[in-house]
A and B are shown apart, each in its own frame.
Chain A
Amino acid sequence: MAKKRAPLTAPPPPAAEPGPGWWRRYRREIRFLALFLLLLGAGFALVSLQWVNDHAVEPFTAGIARASGAALDLLGQHTTLQGTVIRSPRFTVNIRNGCNGVETMLIFLAAVLAFPATWRARLLGLGLGIAAIQVVNLVRVVALFLTGAYLPRLFDASHTVIWQTLVVLFGVLVWIYWANRFAADGEPAA
C-alpha cells in the first residue's frame, strides 16, 4: 500500500485556531519540547534511583558486557567477565552508566513518546530504535576496548567525545527517520 504524505500545501490558516499568534505558530514545537524535556528528566530521575539501578540498570549493563565479551572473543581477544568488567591480557574496561547506551535510549524514548503518533507507530519505533541503538552501542564498546588495547593514547578522546557523540547522533537520526517515515502518517495519539 502506497504511503500517504502530508499534502504539499502551506500550513492551515492561523485564523482557524484560537490563541495568541506565537502559540498558534509554535504550539507543536512547544508541546513537543515541553513533553520531551519532562520525559527525559523523569526517565533519568527514575534510573538514578538506587533500587532501579541495582535491579534494572546493572543487570542490563552486565548483559551488554557479556555480549561485548562474546564479540571480542570472536575477534580473538580472549576476554573474561566479572559483572560489568571485561578483562583481557592487554586491557581491562568497566562498563558503567554513560557507556551502556541508556542515555541515548532514554533520549530516543522521550522523543518518540513526545511526538504525536499512533501507539502502534510508537511501539514499533521504540522496539526497532532501541534495538538499533544497542547494536551501535555494542560496536562502540568493542571499538573502545580495541582502542584501549592497541591505541591507549586515543582512549580518553574516543570514550567521551567521539563515541558518545556518535551514539547520540545515531539515536537522533533514527528518531528523525522514524518520525518522518512512520509517525507522520498516523493518527495522533491523545
Chain B
Amino acid sequence: MSRRPESRGARTDAPPAAPAAEPRSWVPRYLCNVLLWLLPVWAAWALATPAYNGFLLASGANLLHLTERPAVTIFHRLDADDAGVERRDFPPGRALAGSFRVTDLHFHLVLLAALFLAVPGISWRRRLENLGWAVLATVFFDIFLVFLYVKFLYATQLGTWSLAHYGALARNVYGLGKHLLDLPYKLGLPFALWAGFYLHLVGRGVSAAAAADR
C-alpha cells in the first residue's frame, strides 16, 4: 500500500486495485507534450514580444513614478529588445542613466506556457484558465522586475550620485532584490506556478490525475 500522505485517510480494508486496471503515469505523455508545445509557444512569444516590451516599459514607468516626486524616469526604446533609462533631472547630455534588455526579462513566459499547456488529462477550459492566472501573476512579476532593474541602476550603478541619493540599506535591498528576482525567481517562477496548480497530480496515474482536477 502506498505510504504517501494523501493515502493516510484511505480505508485500509479496501480491496487492492488490480494491476491491469492501473493506468500508466501521465509523465511520459507530459514530457512529450512539453517538447511539442515549445515551438508554437516560442513563435507566439516572439510575435507578442514587441507589444509586450512596450506594455512592460509603460507599466514599469508608471510604477516608478509612484516613488518619484516629481516623476523623472522615462524609457526610450533603443531597438526591438533594448530600452534606455533617462532621467529628466539630469543634464541633457547625460540624461541616459543606463540601458537594459527588456526581452530578457520575460522569456520565462515560454517556459510557463509550455509547462501549463502540456498537462494531459485536464480539460482545455481548465488548462487555459490556470494558464491565464499564471500569466497574470507573471505579468505583475515582470512589471516589478522592470521597477527593480531601474532602482538597482539608480542605487548602485551611478557612482557618487547613487551614494548621495541612496543609503546603504536601500543599496543592499535593491542589490539583493535584483540578484534574487533577476535569475533564480525569474527562472523558478514558471515551475513554482506550475507546482501551485498541478502538484496534486504528481504520483498519480492519468485517470486519477483527471479525477483530481480541481
Number of A-B contacts (CB under 8 A): 157
In the bound assembly, the distance between CA atoms of A149 and B42 in angstroms comes to: 24
Q: Is A4 an interface residue (CB 8 A)?
A: yes
Give the total of B residues in contact with A, Cβ under 8 Å: 57
In the complex the two chains form, what is the Cα distance from A145 to B2 in whole Å?
A: 47
Q: Mark A33-62, 1 if CB is under 8 A from B, else 0.
A: 100110011011100100000000000000
Distance in Å from the Cβ of B173 to the closest Cβ of chain A?
13
Residue ID in chain A nearest B24 by CB atoms: A5
Residue from the set A2, A4, A25 with the largest chain B CB neighbour count within 10 Å? A4
Return A75 CB to nearest CB of chain B, in Å: 25
Closest to A180 in B: B27
Whole-angstrom distance from the CB of A104 to the nearest CB of chain B? 7
- Whether B100 is near chain A, meaning CB under 8 Å from some CB there, is no
Contact A172 B191 (CB under 8 A): yes
Residues of B within 8 A of A107 (CB): 184, 187-188, 191
Q: Is the CB of A16 within 8 A of B9?
A: yes
Tell me whether A169 and B114 are in contact (CB under 8 A): yes
Sort chain A's interface into a size bin: 35 or more
With beta carbons under 8 angstroms apart, the residue of A2, A29, A44, A168 that contacts B195 is A29
B7 engages A6 (CB within 8 Å): yes
A181:B27 contact, CB within 8 angstroms: yes
CB-based contact B31/A177 at 8 Å: yes
CB-defined A-B contacts under 8 Å, sample of 27:
A2-B19, A5-B22, A7-B10, A9-B10, A10-B212, A12-B9, A12-B10, A16-B9, A28-B5, A28-B199, A28-B200, A32-B195, A33-B196, A48-B179, A103-B184, A107-B187, A107-B191, A116-B4, A165-B107, A165-B110, A168-B187, A168-B191, A173-B34, A177-B27, A179-B202, A180-B203, A184-B2
A residues apposed to B, CB below 8 Å: 2, 4-13, 16-17, 25, 28-29, 32-33, 36-37, 40-41, 43-45, 48, 97-98, 103-104, 106-107, 110-111, 115-116, 160-161, 164-165, 168-169, 172-173, 175-177, 179-181, 183-188
Q: A10-B212, A11-B200, A176-B31 are in contact. List 20 more A-B contacts (CB 8 A).
A: A5-B2, A6-B7, A7-B2, A28-B5, A28-B199, A29-B195, A29-B199, A33-B195, A37-B185, A40-B188, A41-B184, A106-B184, A161-B103, A168-B191, A169-B34, A179-B202, A180-B27, A180-B202, A185-B2, A188-B4
